[in-house]
Amino acid sequence: MRAKFYDLSSLMMMGVAIYFFFRSVSFLTDNNYVSGVMTMLIGFMIIRASVDLSRVAIASAREESAANS
């Protein structure tokens, strides 16, 4: 059950990161470079956390499958 929660959380975080990338593009097209770069960095940080959470989900799924067998 934990693995499904972690998977869902990581997918939601990736969606949030995509939103931040779209916002950074809109900031950059408005020549607001500081805000654009900051939102881009936030997007990269969220992607990084999402990938780490996906790794935890994989490990949790393996642990659950080993406990069931």
pTM of the shown model: 0.84
Q: Please give the backbone phi and psi of residue 43, each rounded to the nearest 5 degrees, phi first.
A: -60, -45
- Tens digits of pLDDT across the chain (69 residues): 788 898 999 999 999 999 999 999 999 999 999 999 999 999 999 999 999 999 999 998 888 888 887
pLDDT in tens, 12-27: 999 999 999 999 999 9
Alpha helices in the chain (DSSP H): 2-29, 33-68
Q: Please give the backbone phi and psi of residue 15, each rounded to the nearest 5 degrees, phi first.
A: -65, -40
Judge contact between 18 and 30, C-beta under 8 A: no
Output DSSP code: residue 31.
T
Q: What residue spans define the domains of the chain? A: 2-68
